[in-house]
């Protein structure tokens, strides 16, 4: 074969591989872009249905899957195993170091807003002081730590600079909880993922830097959030209580399960990530129910780090205060099976829930516009969409008649979005308050744990299963 022919074949393979790569589009810096202050658009069930077929929804799912893939172990060109560990991070770029520094500055503000010692029923009101301090610093922090990306799109125009910073600030400040309600939940966590997505769109990160983003920025963000929760006793926002996955967070379970998944080829995007199996050296999922084993892995793995936080704040048996995570810990098909299920659950329980996404703001980077790739939806509107306020006349984008919501996990309707990315197809007909993937074949989760006196523990009515003898 001639050298020219070999080069042509290599280029063709590269082009094919790139077409399969799922990645968030960047803004072209040579094209003038008009930034805008993000605003609330989801007011009704119809608005919620429109969101599910919007470009913002697709961008959020693409970005999450892009980050998720980066956390799987890989094999280097010389055959060595490249695992993903929090204690052995990759080399950070200047922009990632800048964002880490920004989070450090925000964490230091806690010292200036000590918890109130007065009587209170719920969260500590001093959180409002911290939030006020963070908001007053946010403009300068964004301009300082994302300076090069900002200049590329605003030049010397002060109005463009203000508009861009306002857009980024909406997502950044939306990621630290509600100063009004003194709570924090997965909607705030989603806002931080969106903030990083905005930075990606502005060219702050290069291809192949996704793992560094998760380890170097997302994990420190989660650590800051846990510190805020402990310092100001922030309430869970929109929690399912004991029948939720976690009171406050979701993404560490996605990225942490990917860390223990089977190896993938780092530059082969023609294949989806594995949906079964584990890294050979990974612990059993059952290890999360053991406090000692959790301590062994909490510093290396995001999943175990999140589990350790639960142990820090909750008392009693793990199966009692965290029955969903306990159920998942019995899965036999490996960490990739858990990762697949977590993505589906995220689509159903975070992106697919009106109470979670109703406060998400839309601007020029995560746009309130119909996704041209989303097909007509099947089935009826989701239960959540039907139960929300009816749409009222407004200046907002009209809702297409064909859009429908994501089916509530406890109904029998099938996922409504034809245009949904396969890995994020949300749920099945199985109640999402029990891991839906933990009940089939080798993926079966644990049985319901009995109470200490031998009487079966109280279970949600949909969680019927055989009790251990």
Domain span at 114 = 34-390+411-443
Q: Is the distance from CB of 259 to CB of 302 less than 8 angstroms?
A: yes
- 274 φ, ψ to 5°? -60, 150
pLDDT band at 180 (very low <50, low <70, confident <90, very high): very high
> Once rounded to an integer, what is the mean pLDDT over residues 416-445?
50
Residue 99 lies in a domain: yes
Q: Is the distance from CB of 214 to CB of 70 less than 8 angstroms?
A: yes
pLDDT recorded at residue 379: 32
Span of 12-16, 195-199, 258-262 with lowest mean pLDDT: 12-16
pLDDT band at 437 (very low <50, low <70, confident <90, very high): low
Residue 241 lies in a domain: yes
**C-alpha dist (Å) from residue 459 to 289, 330, 449, 463, 467:** 19, 17, 10, 6, 11
Is the confidence at residue 107, as pLDDT, over 90? yes
Residue 469 lies in a domain: no
What is the tens place of the pLDDT at every residue in 286-315? 999 999 999 999 999 999 999 999 999 999
Is the confidence at residue 168, as pLDDT, over 50? yes
Strands 74-75 and 81-82, how do they pair? antiparallel
- Exposure of 38 by Cβ count < 10 A (0-12 exposed, 13-18 middle, 19+ buried)? buried
pLDDT band at 119 (very low <50, low <70, confident <90, very high): confident
pTM (two decimals): 0.82
Is the confidence at residue 80, as pLDDT, over 90? no
Is the confidence at residue 429, as pLDDT, over 70? no
Residue 25 lies in a domain: no
Span of 137-141, 321-325, 429-433 with lowest mean pLDDT: 429-433
Residue 6 lies in a domain: no
What proportions of the chain, in percent to the nearest 5, are helix, strand and coil?
A: 45, 5, 50
pLDDT recorded at residue 23: 94
375 vs 78: which has the higher pLDDT: 78
Per-residue buried b or exposed e for 112-144, using 16+ beta carbons within 10 Å of the residue's own CB: ebebeeeeeeebbebbbbbbebbeeebeebbbe
Residue 374 lies in a domain: yes
> Once rounded to an integer, what is the mean pLDDT over residues 367-375?
89
Structural domains in the chain (count)? 1
Is the confidence at residue 390, as pLDDT, over 70? no
Per-residue buried b or exposed e for 41-64, using 16+ beta carbons within 10 Å of the residue's own CB: bbbbbbbbbbbbbbbbbbbbbbbb
> Once rounded to an integer, what is the mean pLDDT over residues 34-45?
97
Using alpha carbons only, how large is the chain's radius of gyration in Å?
22
Is the confidence at residue 200, as pLDDT, over 60? yes
Is the confidence at residue 235, as pLDDT, over 60? yes
Q: Which of 278, 400, 419 is nearest to 347 (CA)?
A: 419
Residue 459 lies in a domain: no
Is the confidence at residue 173, as pLDDT, over 50? yes
Residue 82 lies in a domain: yes
């Amino acid at each position: 074969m001639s050298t020219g022919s070999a080069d042509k074949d290599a280029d063709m393979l590269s082009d094919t591989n790139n077409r399969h790569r799922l990645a968030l589009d960047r803004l072209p810096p040579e094209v003038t872009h008009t930034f805008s202050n993000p605003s609330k658009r989801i007011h009704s069930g119809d608005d919620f249905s429109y969101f599910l077929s919007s470009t913002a929804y697709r961008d959020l799912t693409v970005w999450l899957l892009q980050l998720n893939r980066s956390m799987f172990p890989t094999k280097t060109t010389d055959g060595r195993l490249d695992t993903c560990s929090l204690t052995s991070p990759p080399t950070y770029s200047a922009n990632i170091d800048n964002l880490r520094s920004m989070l450090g500055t925000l964490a230091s503000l806690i010292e200036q807003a000590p918890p109130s010692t007065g009587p209170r029923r719920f969260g500590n009101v001093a959180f409002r002081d911290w939030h006020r301090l963070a908001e007053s610093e946010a403009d300068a922090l964004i301009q300082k730590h994302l300076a090069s990306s900002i200049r590329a799109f605003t030049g010397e125009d002060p109005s463009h600079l203000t508009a861009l910073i306002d857009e980024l600030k909406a997502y950044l400040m939306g990621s630290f909880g509600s100063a009004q309600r003194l709570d924090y939940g997965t909607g705030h966590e989603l806002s931080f993922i969106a903030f990083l997505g905005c930075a990606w769109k502005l060219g702050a990160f290069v291809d192949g830097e996704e793992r560094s983003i998760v380890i170097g920025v997302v994990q420190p963000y989660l650590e800051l959030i846990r510190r805020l929760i402990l310092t100001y006793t922030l309430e869970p926002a929109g929690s399912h209580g004991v029948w939720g996955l976690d009171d406050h967070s979701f993404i560490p379970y996605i990225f942490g399960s990917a860390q223990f998944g089977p190896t993938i080829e780092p530059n082969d995007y023609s294949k989806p990530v594995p949906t079964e199996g584990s890294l050979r050296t990974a612990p059993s999922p059952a290890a999360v129910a053991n406090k000692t084993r959790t301590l062994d892995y909490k510093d290396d793995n995001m999943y175990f780090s999140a589990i350790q936080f639960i142990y820090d704040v909750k008392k009693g048996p793990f199966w009692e205060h965290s029955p969903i995570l306990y159920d998942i810990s019995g899965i036999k098909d490996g960490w990739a099976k858990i990762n697949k299920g977590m993505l589906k659950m995220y689509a159903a329980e975070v992106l697919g829930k009106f109470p979670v996404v109703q406060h998400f703001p839309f601007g020029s980077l995560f746009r309130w516009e119909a996704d041209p790739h989303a097909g007509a939806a099947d089935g009826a509107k989701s239960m959540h969409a039907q139960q929300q306020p009816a749409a009222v006349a407004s200046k907002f984008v009209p809702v297409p008649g064909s859009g429908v919501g994501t089916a509530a996990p406890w109904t029998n309707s099938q996922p409504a979005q034809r245009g949904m990315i396969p890995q994020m197809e949300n749920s099945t007909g199985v109640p999402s308050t029990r891991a839906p993937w933990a009940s089939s074949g080798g993926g079966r989760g644990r049985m319901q744990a009995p109470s200490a006196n031998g009487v079966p523990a109280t279970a949600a009515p949909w969680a019927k299963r055989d009790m251990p003898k």
